[in-house]
A and B are shown apart, each in its own frame.
Chain A
Amino acid sequence: MATDAKEIIICKDVHKWFDRLHVLKGINLTVKQGEVLVIFGPSGSGKSTFIRTINRLEEHQRGTIIVDGMELTNDIRNIHAIRSEIGMVFQSFNLFPHLTVMQNITLAPMWVRHWSQEKAEKIAMDLLARVGIPEQAHKYPAQLSGGQQQRVAIARALAMQPKIMLFDEPTSALDPEMIKEVLDVMLELAKSGMTMLCVTHEMGFARAAADRMVFFDGGQLIEEGTPAQIFSHPQHERTKLFLSQILH
């Protein structure tokens, strides 16, 4: 990542409430193009909520979020435009069970980008090869293992040729033996220069791929730094405590 890369996500003083519950309490964060960011922190600290505000699956109530030069407002056209530039991978895969793997991947390119079926399918096959499961194209999600399903979900997001990828605990629902196959795909993606925001507790991945790590607690961004800084010299007590808990 070049230091003079443009700022693709700018969050200023972002607040979010669920009814009376104050979940995000003034988040300030800027992400540069090509940067790989790992977000970690205790359960319920607002990590999911935060990355979901970036493609407006959640609406923020105060502050500004600017993605790729567009401010997120209630303007529906802006929202669709921004969503088609951002891929998202969920903890529970959320593949469409009634569609084949191929249809899962080509749906949005054909109906949002208006590509021809041939073009969409060709790109889908390339992506399936890239995530290592080209032979599963015509199966249904239920016929795949969890690791394979999550790799399809990554291919589905990449098919839109997004500028940013969001990952919300992509390996938390997986059996241990399948975690690596998904992390390998993410690692390769990080190396290819994709801008990535990953909520994850896979510290091996963070060490290998992250440019920067941010620690969330109680709806606030407590600390940020390179993996080296975070792992060897965490500044805050809460960061130290949390790291000591997850690293044993």
Chain B
Amino acid sequence: MTASADTLGPPRTSVGVLGWLKKNLFSTWYNTLLTFVTLWFLWVVGSGLISWSLTSARWDVIAANWRLFMVGPFPPDQVWRVWVVVLFVSALFGVSGGVWGGTVRTFTMSLAGGYATLAVIALFVFPVSENLVWLLANLVIVLAAYFLARGRKGLQLWLVGAWLLGFILTILLLQGFVGSTWLPEVSTTQWGGLLLTFMLAIVSIVVSFPLGVLLALGRRSKMPAVKVFSILYIELVRGVPLVTILYMTQIMLPLFLPGELRIDNVLRAIAGMTMFTAAYMAENVRGGLQAIPTGQIEAAQALGLNNALVTLFIVLPQALRMVIPAIVGLFIALFKDTTLATIVALLELLGVARSVLAQPEYLGLQTEVYIFVAAVFFLFSYAMSFASYRLEEALGVGKR
């Protein structure tokens, strides 16, 4: 070190790739040893996995059961309805990417890339099929919607409405109507595969979010009845495993509800997951509520805002922003926990996997099937986690 160190360039060895390697991987003899052991381990495992998956793995089990994995026992002649929903979602993603740009655009483009990749795979696996046509249609829709909507900020409010409307339309379209000729009813017991996984997760997420916020506010309420109810609910639900709650909603809900209000298996599973997630959601949100400085609330009150407005405009936006990572973590957990629905006989992605493996011709292909299922879950969980990371950054603008 010299007195004028700040005017000197950094020593050669600490910059660039070599510098990084030396500093992080080979700084001491045991660090060097660790590096080599790790490399050897990665090579042994990785090369084995890669050569297995390229040579002896029988991926045809995935291709042959593709429809089952995607939609389960959904009637094959009605699968176009699922595709229409996907088209709608693609269009919404395209427009959203165009209007909002930034991270949403990254997602839109990843979606387009995903369709293109799947289309190429489909081309080799089932050369002439409607899947290929639908995939290409989706690719076109995403890109067209993106380029048409690019930069039109005025569409923002419409878009939020369209997403909410899309949610309701999706359920109506998939469910159909009793007695209708061209939209015959497809009862939820016939939903399955990734479709069911998504429906379980999305409906539970959408419903548990407001419930959780209300419970969190209820827990801090000055009205004793509301407060006691919220605390009891949260603590009771958090004290019970999700599996137990799923069994209870399967068996106990029908006992409480009047006979004509029979709700089906899927709804019962959704009810269980929603109840469960809402309690954890409430605790996360409460953490955010507690972190709001009292000065914020006092400043808002001093302006004459009533308690509802203070909560809505000042407390909740700041509290929710603080707990975004925790909330997304919760949603990722819920997404993966939908697999527990197999134990109440629902054929979501894991349920389909198990029923495929039960067929004699696919005996012994556990590895292929479970790797595929794991990869699908990883892909979507990672996408959510990436989105939350970027969202946090984007919302950091006004932080102090």
**Which chain A positions have C-beta within 8 A of B300?**
96
The smallest C-beta distance from A213 to any residue of chain B, in angstroms, reads 24
Known: A140-B397, A142-B399. A92 touches B305 (CB 8 A): no
The closest CB in chain B to the CB of A140 belongs to B398
The smallest C-beta distance from A131 to any residue of chain B, in angstroms, reads 17
**Which chain A positions have C-beta within 8 A of B305?**
107-108, 111-112
Contacts between the two chains (Cβ within 8 Å), count: 71
The closest CB in chain A to the CB of B295 belongs to A94
**Which chain B positions have C-beta within 8 A of A57?**
298, 301-302
**Which chain B positions have C-beta within 8 A of A107?**
303, 305, 313
**Which chain A positions have C-beta within 8 A of B314?**
96
B296 & A94 in contact (Cβ 8 Å cutoff): yes
**Which chain A positions have C-beta within 8 A of B298?**
57, 90, 94
B318 contacts chain A at the CB level, 8 A cutoff: yes
**Which chain B positions have C-beta within 8 A of A140?**
397-398
Interface SS majority for chain B: helix
List residues of A (61-118) whose CB comes within 8 Å of B's CBs: 76, 80-81, 83-84, 86-88, 90, 92, 94-100, 107-108, 111-112
A98 & B302 in contact (Cβ 8 Å cutoff): no
A141 contacts chain B at the CB level, 8 A cutoff: yes
A182 contacts chain B at the CB level, 8 A cutoff: no
The smallest C-beta distance from A197 to any residue of chain B, in angstroms, reads 13
**Which chain A positions have C-beta within 8 A of B81?**
none
B303 & A83 in contact (Cβ 8 Å cutoff): yes
**Which chain A positions have C-beta within 8 A of B12?**
none
B318 & A156 in contact (Cβ 8 Å cutoff): no
Residue from B293, B300, B303, B318 with most neighbouring chain A CB atoms (10 Å): B303
List residues of B (370-400) whose CB comes within 8 Å of A's CBs: 397-400
- Can you list, as one digit per residue, whether each of B300-325 has a CB less than 8 Å from chain A (1) or not (0)? 11111110010001100110010000
Known: A141-B398, A141-B400. A96 touches B302 (CB 8 A): no
How many Å lie between the Cα of A111 and that of B309 in the bound state?
8
The smallest C-beta distance from B222 to any residue of chain A, in angstroms, reads 12
**Which chain B positions have C-beta within 8 A of A99?**
398
| Partner among A80, A97, A153 whose Cβ is within 8 Å of the Cβ of B400 | A97
B232 contacts chain A at the CB level, 8 A cutoff: no
B303 & A98 in contact (Cβ 8 Å cutoff): no
B299 contacts chain A at the CB level, 8 A cutoff: yes
A24 contacts chain B at the CB level, 8 A cutoff: no
A199 contacts chain B at the CB level, 8 A cutoff: no
List residues of A (42-63) whose CB comes within 8 Å of B's CBs: 55, 57
A83 & B302 in contact (Cβ 8 Å cutoff): yes
**Which chain A positions have C-beta within 8 A of B293?**
94
How many Å lie between the Cα of A99 and that of B315 in the bound state?
12
Interface size class of A (residues with CB under 8 A): 20 to 34
The smallest C-beta distance from A137 to any residue of chain B, in angstroms, reads 14
B299 & A96 in contact (Cβ 8 Å cutoff): yes
List residues of B (305-354) whose CB comes within 8 Å of A's CBs: 305-306, 309, 313-314, 317-318, 321
B295 & A92 in contact (Cβ 8 Å cutoff): yes
**Which chain B positions have C-beta within 8 A of A156?**
303
**Which chain B positions have C-beta within 8 A of A92?**
295
B304 & A160 in contact (Cβ 8 Å cutoff): yes
Known: A80-B306, A90-B298. A111 touches B313 (CB 8 A): yes
The smallest C-beta distance from A144 to any residue of chain B, in angstroms, reads 10
B398 & A142 in contact (Cβ 8 Å cutoff): yes
How many Å lie between the Cα of A100 and that of B293 in the bound state?
18
B304 & A98 in contact (Cβ 8 Å cutoff): no
The smallest C-beta distance from B276 to any residue of chain A, in angstroms, reads 30
The smallest C-beta distance from B394 to any residue of chain A, in angstroms, reads 13
The closest CB in chain A to the CB of B321 belongs to A98
Known: A90-B295, A90-B298. A97 touches B399 (CB 8 A): yes
A157 contacts chain B at the CB level, 8 A cutoff: yes
How many Å lie between the Cα of A76 and that of B222 in the bound state?
14
Known: A140-B397, A140-B398. A97 touches B313 (CB 8 A): no
| Partner among B296, B302, B318 whose Cβ is within 8 Å of the Cβ of A86 | B302
How many Å lie between the Cα of A89 and that of B293 in the bound state?
16
The closest CB in chain A to the CB of B300 belongs to A96
B295 & A84 in contact (Cβ 8 Å cutoff): no
The smallest C-beta distance from A143 to any residue of chain B, in angstroms, reads 8
**Which chain B positions have C-beta within 8 A of A157?**
302-303
The closest CB in chain B to the CB of A156 belongs to B303
| Partner among B302, B397, B399, B400 whose Cβ is within 8 Å of the Cβ of A88 | B302
| Partner among A94, A98, A112 whose Cβ is within 8 Å of the Cβ of B318 | A98
The closest CB in chain A to the CB of B306 belongs to A80
B296 & A83 in contact (Cβ 8 Å cutoff): no
How many Å lie between the Cα of A57 and that of B302 in the bound state?
7
Q: Could you list 20 examples of A-B contacts with CB < 8 Å?
A: A80-B304, A81-B304, A83-B303, A86-B302, A90-B295, A94-B293, A94-B296, A96-B300, A96-B314, A97-B399, A98-B321, A99-B398, A107-B303, A107-B305, A112-B305, A140-B397, A140-B398, A141-B398, A156-B303, A157-B303
Which 4 pairs across A and B sit closest by C-beta, in order of nearness? A84-B304, A94-B299, A108-B303, A140-B398
